[in-house]
């Protein structure tokens, strides 16, 4: 089995191309990870996901521990076998979902998150050790530390307290992870919108030692300019030899701006969620396929799409599918959006290699 490794291949100012080596395959960065929340990327098969050029997907600890439960997945050998996926899988720790989904939660520094399931109200305990145990049971390739993801606030003391708790949990997560050279453990940088807290969080995580560093606590209601400001604050401090992951982000323009600031990895539900509701991402901008004007448009969704199999269906036909609530519409648009995101990532990598990323960024940052 291959040991987890990361190598930077090309740079264009802060933007970088690299390659992550895992025991299940290589991942070219910058990369976008389709979200497979409940052991499925909604409305898509794994074979279809692979045809888009996706090289890694994301699974969710919180949802999988609630349904179907870790035991059922462990019994068949892990998440890859359970969902018939041979791509590398990153699993998040569950911290964000504890904040955003649970009906009732309480944070105890020693016991972790104590919360009631959003499904049936059943009480769960998710400590740093339990989160790591679950992720190792899922047999994911990249494991995230347990952190507290606070809601957006400008209260410095609240964010500082939360950041210090996340650092305490980071040390416990690292200890629980143990020696697993064929897997990776990523630390999560917290600190809200405060530069000094972000830098302190990163420096303390670097002392603990992790295989990669994620920026957490964003995509919680801040503006794009606030998010970019946080990345600007830390971009000179991120270790160049480790992958940088911006969690839960985002729109194509979010991705372009974050790559410009040194980010290598992304995940977001936006392309799949938008696809299920009739919103398509294209090189010409966004399309609401439910709009009446597409009833007389017999052209493909995106003439610039390189995956020609996705251009078999006209806007006219897709409009009909959505306005009659046919499942095929959601399937086709979801796959189209994931494919668009992967074509965007490929174009980003090409422009970084060619030293033209700034021009590419400026062309599309306000268009996509």
What tokens does 72 get?
């059922």
Q: Are residues 190 and 303 in the same domain?
A: no
CB-count burial class (<10 Å; 0-12, 13-18, 19+) for 207: exposed
Q: Are residues 252 and 319 in the same domain?
A: no
Q: Are residues 262 and 281 in the same domain?
A: no
The domain boundary, picked from 268, 292, 311, lies at 268
Q: What is the pLDDT along the chain (368 residues), one digit of tens a residue?
A: 789 999 999 999 999 999 999 999 999 999 999 999 999 999 999 999 999 999 999 999 999 999 999 999 999 999 999 999 999 999 998 878 877 766 678 899 999 988 888 888 888 889 999 999 999 999 999 999 999 988 889 999 999 999 999 999 999 999 999 999 999 999 999 999 999 999 999 999 999 999 999 999 998 889 999 999 999 999 999 999 999 999 999 999 999 999 999 999 999 999 999 999 999 999 999 999 999 999 999 999 999 999 888 999 999 999 999 999 999 999 999 999 999 999 999 999 999 999 999 999 999 999 99
What tokens does 207 get?
């002392």
Q: Are residues 284 and 189 in the same domain?
A: no
Enumerate residues 6+ apart whose C-beta is below 8 A from 322.
278, 289, 290, 329, 330, 333
Q: Are residues 297 and 358 in the same domain?
A: yes
CA angle at residue 323 from 322 to 328, to 5 degrees? 30
What tokens does 29 get?
């960065």
Q: Are residues 114 and 201 in the same domain?
A: yes
State the CB neighbour count (10 A cutoff) for residue 251: 16
Q: Tell me the β-bridge partners of 89.
A: 57
What tokens does 224 get?
């794009």
Q: Tell me, what CATH number does 261's domain have? A: 3.20.20.105
Q: Are residues 170 and 254 in the same domain?
A: yes
3-state SS record for the chain: CCCCEEEEEEEECCEEEEEEEECCEEEEECEEECECCCCCCCCCCHHHHHHCCCCCEEEEHHHHHHCCCHHHHHHCCCHHHHHCCCCCEEEECCHHHHHHCCCEEEEECCCEEEEECCCCCCEEEECHHHHHHHHHHHCCCEEECCCCCCCCCCCHHHHHHHHHHHHHHHHHHHHHHCCCCCCEEEEEECCCCCHHHHHHHHHHHHHHCCCEEEECCCCCCCCHHHHHHHHHHHCCCCCCCCCEEECCCCCHHHHHHHHCCCCCEEECCHHHHHHHCCEEEECCEEEECCCHHHHHCCCECCCCCCCHHHHCCEHHHHHHHHHCCCHHHHHHHHHHHHHHHHHHHHHHHHHHHHCCHHHHHHHHCCCC
Q: Are residues 37 and 166 in the same domain?
A: yes
State the CB neighbour count (10 A cutoff) for residue 322: 21
Q: Are residues 313 and 264 in the same domain?
A: no
Give the count of alpha carbons within 13 A of 159, CB side only.
21
The domain boundary, picked from 268, 293, 328, lies at 268
Place of tokens 């957490």: 216
**Residue 266: its pLDDT value, please?**
98
The domain boundary, picked from 252, 268, 284, lies at 268
**Domain span at 50:** 5-268
Tally of domains within the chain: 2
CA angle at residue 276 from 271 to 278, to 5 degrees? 90
**Residue 26: its pLDDT value, please?**
98
Q: Are residues 244 and 342 in the same domain?
A: no
Active-site residues: which are they? Answer: 92, 267
Given phi > 0 = left and psi -120 to 50 = alpha, else beta, which region is 223? Answer: beta
**Residue 103: its pLDDT value, please?**
64
108-144 in b/e form (b: 16+ CB < 10 A) is eeeebbbbebbeeeeebebbbbbbbebbbbbbbbbbb
Q: Are residues 285 and 215 in the same domain?
A: no
Q: Are residues 168 and 192 in the same domain?
A: yes
């Amino acid at each position: 089995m291959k040991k987890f490794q990361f190598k930077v291949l090309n740079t264009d100012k802060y933007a970088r191309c690299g390659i992550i080596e895992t025991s299940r395959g290589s991942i070219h960065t910058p990369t976008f990870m389709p979200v497979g929340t409940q052991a499925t990327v909604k409305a898509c098969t794994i074979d279809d996901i692979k045809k888009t050029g996706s090289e890694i997907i994301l699974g969710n600890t919180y949802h999988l521990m609630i349904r179907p439960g870790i035991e059922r997945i462990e019994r068949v050998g892990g998440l890859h076998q359970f969902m018939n996926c041979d791509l590398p899988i990153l699993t998040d720790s569950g911290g964000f979902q504890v904040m955003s989904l649970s009906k009732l939660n309480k944070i105890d520094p020693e016991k972790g998150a104590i919360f009631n399931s959003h499904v049936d109200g059943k009480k769960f305990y998710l400590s740093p050790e339990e989160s790591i145990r679950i992720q190792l049971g899922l047999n994911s390739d990249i494991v995230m530390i347990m952190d507290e993801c606070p809601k957006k606030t400008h209260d410095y003391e609240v964010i500082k307290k939360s950041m210090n708790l996340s650092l305490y949990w980071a040390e416990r997560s690292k200890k629980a992870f143990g020696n697993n050279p064929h897997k990776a453990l990523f630390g999560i940088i917290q600190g809200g919108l405060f530069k000094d807290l972000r830098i302190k969080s990163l420096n303390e995580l670097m002392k603990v030692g992790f295989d990669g560093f994620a920026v957490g606590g964003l995509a919680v209601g801040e503006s794009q300019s606030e998010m970019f400001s946080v990345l600007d604050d830390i971009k000179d401090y991120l270790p160049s030899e480790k992958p940088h992951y911006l969690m839960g982000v985002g729109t194509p323009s979010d991705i372009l701006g974050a790559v410009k600031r040194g980010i290598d990895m992304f995940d977001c539900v936006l392309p799949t969620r938008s696809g299920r509701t009739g919103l398509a991402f294209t090189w010409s901008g966004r399309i609401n396929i439910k709009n009446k004007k597409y009833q007389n448009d017999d052209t493909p969704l995106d003439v610039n799409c390189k995956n020609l199999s996705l251009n078999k269906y006209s806007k006219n036909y897709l409009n009909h599918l959505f306005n009659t609530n046919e499942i095929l519409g959601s399937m086709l648009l979801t796959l189209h959006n994931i494919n668009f995101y992967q074509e965007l990532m490929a174009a980003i990598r090409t422009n970084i290699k060619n030293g033209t990323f700034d021009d590419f960024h400026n062309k599309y940052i306000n268009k996509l």
